[in-house]
Structure 1
Amino acid sequence: MTNNSSSYRWWVMLVVIIGGFMSILDTSIVNIAMPKMMAVFGVGTDKAQWILTVYMLTMGVLQPTTGYLCDVWGAKRMYIASMVIFTIGSALCGLAWSNDSMIGFRIIQAVGGGVIIPVGMSIIYTIFPPEERNLAMGVWGISAMVAPAIGPTLSGYFVEYLDWRLIFTINVPVGIVGTILAAFILRESPVRKQAKFDMVGFLTSALGLFCLLLALSEVSDEGWTSIYILSLLFVSFVSLLFFVIYELMHEDPLLDLTLFKNPTFSASTLVTFIGTVCLYGGIFLVPLFMENLRNYSAMQNGILLFPAAAMAGIMMPISGKIADRVGARPVVIVGLILLGLGNYGLRFLDLDTSYNYILWFLIIRSIGLGLFMMPVTVAGMNTVPFHKIARASAMNNAVRQVSGSFGIAILTTILQNRQVYHLNHMADYINAASLGTQQIAGSLQNMFALHGSTVLTAKTQALAVVSQLVQRQAYIFSFDDTFLVTALTCFLALIPALMLKEKKRQPDAAPLHIAE
């Protein structure tokens, strides 16, 4: 099996999918087990949430370094090392005896998990020729779509019927198999031993991304105007500003920001950022709505989301084949329109919305996601000089990490603000003095009185029920408004999508003949 034969390339794809699936799965599988871990470790939400937060922070800080590490140590060594570290971290998480030990082991796990995705992406770009890259990225993207949907279902099953520690230890045998396959199948890429590590760039990017991601993860609890959040954002802004200035002057930067001089790469990155924010309209808002207002369990949410995730996975290789024939731009535009229409349909959710209605609009969203997600990435990466592929992959994944956190923070803020708005608006018409409220409260008061409550108690209970109904309706309206904002954001992404251009690669961008 030669290094550039078709069969070899698809064996490499299998290896990369194993690692990518594990890493992405672990970002969603832990959430459902949080209440169980809080009970086992005897801690509150404020301490337990760091089990999630440190994983995200560690991944965000490390991803910019993966381009340099691949250049210096080689993609095969980096991929195997990341798989080994992730597997060891998963095993240790399964053995954790306290909240603090779990946090420490999650950091180890994230060191591996944060490197797997960008290194895997750079390997795919390295071995697949340009004419096969859309299809290859579409196949690789299946794991990115299916894993987040399987995570809650699998976690709910483990927690409810087996052992919650399986959410971590299930990675161990898969990680061992993936590592062995990587050792035997992957070939090492050329290395640049003379490359120097950009320590200033790393420290400033690490500090900036750490503060930014921490602020975005904490803003729903602290508020945008709190001193804590404002301080984090200020430190992040200053650090990243210094990072940008320094990287533009450095001869061998950690992240090559001159890539943004390429309009197609810039447009691709912007569409990716906006599209990732829109992505969370489904995987964040819908489960939240169904759990809080329709009393869905984690497993029920997972079952609801799985067909849509499967559809996105099916569409990804199809979109790759279409993009290879007609170009990325029309495929991306159609995908964004469908994503926007899917989100717009979800703005009409209420307590009576049928299961099939929700499912079909989730599927429409997923068709859009499957169409645009990978072709827009390939369109940008195809314009990058071959020797900068690893750096561009690192930048692409860092953008995804930030945009994901940014999306959750913004959507949560919109949700909270619109709930307050609707509560205040409804209070003008539904209050103790309004005739309608008095009639409803009177009927409820009589009902409670018939069940043995005193007059005063029955009146209090009736008003409490009316208040709960108003709050619930305001909450429903806030979800609908947030879905509308998400839909409009999808349509906004059409502007940079129109700037995408197909560009033939330079001669130095030919597929790499990887050394033994």
Structure 2
Amino acid sequence: MEEKRALPWSSLGVLVLGTFMGVLDSSIVNVALPHLMALFSATEDQIQWVMTIYLLVGGMVIPAAGFLGDRFGYKKAYLGSVLAFVLASALCGLSWNTTSIIVARAIQALGGGMVIPLSMAYLFRIWPREKIGVATGLWGMTMTVAPAIGPTLGGYLVDYVSWHWIFYINLPIGIFTVLWGWLVLEETPVQEDLKLDWPGLFLVASSAFALLLALSKGQDWGWTSPSIVFLIVGALFGTLLFILWELSVPNPVLDVRLILNPTFMASLVASNLTSIALFVGIFLVPLFCQNIQGYSAMQTGLILMPAALTTAFFMPIAGKLFDTVGAVFPGLLGMSIVAAVTHALIHLTADMPIHHLQLLLCIRNAGLALAMMPLMTAGINTIPTARTGQATAIASVTRQVAASFGIALVSYVLTNRMAFHAERLAEEVSLTNPLGYHYYTQFKGLVAGMGGGDGLAQTLLAGIAQKQAMVLAMGDAFWVALWLVFLAFPFIPWLTPRRVKEELKRQEERLEREEVLFASRRTSN
């Protein structure tokens, strides 16, 4: 009992609350975009930058999180990022046109982008490694619960309060988080002589910006357009230069040698594929509920709520399993469940009962909850405490890129397969297809009996065909998601407790050798 009391539960609460606020913001703002588009007389392309700029700037600043925590202390860095996010949220709520809200969102991302890596790095510094699973399980609930609550809460605020409150809601939560954190969080050791690797930060930030922009705009601008090709080539070239540079400096902004750690790399790949599975569901299921079954954004949020609560229930269980048996068992079990349910979702139908869909989503989220945090935690458990800030920054950047890649890939599949299925369905109802033409004449007669003419019959039939084409395309998109889930399985067996302990020992020895080497270089100079 005494050992349990010694665990910093209050500190964990501060970290969970701040992270929850940051994750909630993305889904809550997304619901308000149609309202903001009408309010500011903006085009769809212009208003999408409200989301895009947050993604881009957030991806750029994540690599600096480890440096800020090591240099100034993780308490000050985390609370400072939350405070910056809160102040920028006030600016967003005061926006008066499209440009002002895009600028305010960019400022908001400066703080919001660093909340997740800083909170996770701080968690690994204050919590015993042998019990870290329970802590990361509770912390990880924010990743799945917040996106499910966002649409419901955002829809309610826009419809019944004011659009300003989708941003102002961050003020009381954020201020309470800062005050609570100032009282209960303990400061971590500070490296006062640590210098920021400006060239490395520039290279990784610009590469992340280019790649995330290409992934978010590839569908709109065309994947083979000169702009997208230039961005992708520039991102790859910048990443190569970044790696070469980081290998030559004593205090890299991101320790790229961590990617030579096979257990950490296996963890990154498996957990990022799990994140793709999560975000594909977050992307496709609301489209199905709203565009196919006609539910509002707020109703869709309520439909997704049981799945979010299922995640909240199973994540602490997954954490306890991790502390007991490691990551392999919950990882394999969870991803097997995800694969089975994703296969079932391939067979979506336009008239699927909503309770059946909710049951599938609850089972799928149970699998995601079992797998997600154990797979990520196992990798970071191989990293010495002094490098956890950089490890969580790497994990956050790759997770953001993986999520953007997954959504971009599924969007591409959805768009192209929709066109394919629409063309095939149109061929079925034509003068050259006797059976299709027979059903068309019957449908036309039904519409005529209701007082409609040929034009109305063709319009209604086109709408039905378009909806069916979208349902079939979603099935194809879930096929792609299923293959991505299968890709995770070969990496999970690498994450056994024995491998994690052995790799942690090797990394600690490597870090000691490097410190001795750099100390000798400074002495000789």
TM range (shorter): over 0.9
The RMSD of aligned alpha carbons is 1.9
* Superposition map of 1:294-333 within 5 A: 294-333=293-332
Superposed CA offset, 1:110-139 (max 9, x none):
111111111100111001111110110001
Deviates more, 1:294-303 or 1:485-494: 485-494
Deviations 1:347-367 (A, max 9, x none): 111122111211111011111
Q: Which ranges of structure 1 fall in alignment gaps of 5 or more residues?
A: 510-516
More displaced, 13-22 or 349-358?
349-358
Q: Displacement, 1:427?
A: 4.1
AA at the equivalent of 1:284: F
2:155 corresponds in structure 1 to 156
1:354 and 2:334 matched? no
Q: Secondary structure at the match of 2:495?
A: coil
Distance 2:4 2:303 in 1: 40
Q: Which residue of 2 aligns with 1:71?
A: 70
Equivalent position of 1:88 in the other structure: 87
Counterpart position of 1:497: 492
In structure 1, how many angstroms separate the alpha carbons of the residues matched to 2:471 and 2:376? 35
Q: Distance in 1 between matches of 2:461 and 2:32?
A: 34
Indicate the SS of the match to 1:353.
coil
Residue by residue over 1:229-263, the C-alpha shift from the partner in whole angstroms, topping out at 9 and shown as x without a partner, is 11211211111121122222222211111112211
Q: Which residue of 1 aligns with 2:464?
A: 469
CA apart distance, 1:497: 1.0
The reply on whether 1:484 has 2:483 as its aligned counterpart is: no
Q: TM-score, normalised by structure 1?
A: 0.94
Count of residues in Structure 1 that have an aligned counterpart in Structure 2:
503
Q: Map Cα deviations across residues 261-301 of structure 1 (whole Å, 9 max, x no partner).
A: 21110100001121111112321101111111111111111
The CA deviation at 1:506 is: 4.0
1:460 Cα deviation from its structure 2 partner: 3.5
Equivalent-residue separation in structure 2 for 1:113 and 1:181 (angstroms): 18
Which residue is 1:253 aligned to?
Answer: 252
CA displacement at 1:467 relative to structure 2: 2.9
Asked whether the equivalents of residues 282 and 343 of structure 1 are also in contact (C-alpha less than 8 Å), the reply is no
Identity of aligned residues (%): 38
More moved, 129-138 vs 420-429: 420-429
For 2:82 and 2:299, locate their aligned partners in 1 and report how far apart those are by CA, in whole Å. Answer: 31
- Deviation digits for residues 188-225 of structure 1 (CA, Å, limit 9, x no counterpart): 11111222211111111111110111111112212211
The Cα offsets for residues 388-413 of structure 1, whole Å up to 9 and x where unpaired, read as 11110111111111111111101101
- Give the drift of 1:25: 0.2
- Aligned-partner SS, 2:174: helix
The corresponding residue for 2:333 is: 334
Instruction: State the SS of the aligned residue for 2:431.
Output: coil
Counterparts of 1:150 and 1:443 in 2: how far apart (Å)? 45
Deviation, 1:421, is: 2.4
Aligned twin of 1:413: 412
Q: Which runs of 5+ in 2 are unaligned?
A: 509-525
Q: Give the letter for the 2:272 counterpart.
A: F
Q: Letter of the aligned partner of 1:197 in structure 2?
A: L
Task: Identify the residue that residue 123 of structure 1 maps to in structure 2.
Answer: 122
Aligned-partner Cα distance in 1 for 2:451–2:307: 49
| Alpha-carbon offset, residue 5 of structure 1 | 7.9
Q: Give distance in 2, aligned partners of 1:229 and 1:431.
A: 39
One-letter amino acid of the counterpart of residue 278, structure 2: L
8 Å CA contact retained: 1:441, 1:459: no
**Equivalents in 1 of 2:256, 2:360: separation in Å?**
38
Alignment of 1:115-514 (within 5 A): 115-450=114-449, 458-502=453-497, 503-504=500-501, 505-506=504-505
The question of whether the paired residues in 1 share the 8 Å contact of 2:196 and 2:253 is answered with yes
Give runs of ≥4 in structure 1 deviating > 6 Å.
Answer: none
Q: Structure 2 CA distance, aligned partners of 1:474 and 1:507?
A: 53
TM-aligned CA distance change 1:15 to 1:84, over 3 Å = same
Structure 1 CA distance for aligned equivalents of residues 474 and 125 of structure 2: 43
Shift of residue 433, structure 1, vs aligned partner: 2.4
Distance 2:392 2:444 in 1: 63
Label 1:343 to 1:22 Cα distance change in 2 as closer, same or farther (>3 A): same
Q: CA deviation at 1:479?
A: 0.5
**Partner Cα separation in structure 2 for residue 485 and residue 451 of structure 1:** 42
Deviation for aligned residue 1:472:
2.1
Counterparts of 1:451 and 1:501 in 2: how far apart (Å)? 66
Q: Is the 8 A contact 1:61 1:210 kept in 2?
A: yes
The SS at the match of 1:249 is: coil
Distance (whole Å) between structure 1 residues aligned to residue 243 and residue 397 of structure 2: 14
Residues 281 and 343 in structure 1, CA contact (< 8 A), matched pair in contact too:
no
Does structure 1 conserve the Cα–Cα contact (< 8 Å) formed by 2:382 and 2:507? no
TM-score norm. by structure 2 comes to 0.92
Given that residues 264 and 500 in structure 1 are in contact (C-alpha distance below 8 angstroms), is that contact kept between their aligned partners in structure 2?
yes
The CA distance in 2 between the partners of 1:451 and 1:401, in whole Å, is 52
1:428-470: CA deviation from partner (whole Å, max 9, x where unpaired):
43323221332233234444555666xxxx3343333333332
Note the C-alpha offset of 1:489: 1.6
Q: In 2, Cα distance between the equivalents of 1:216 and 1:508? A: 33
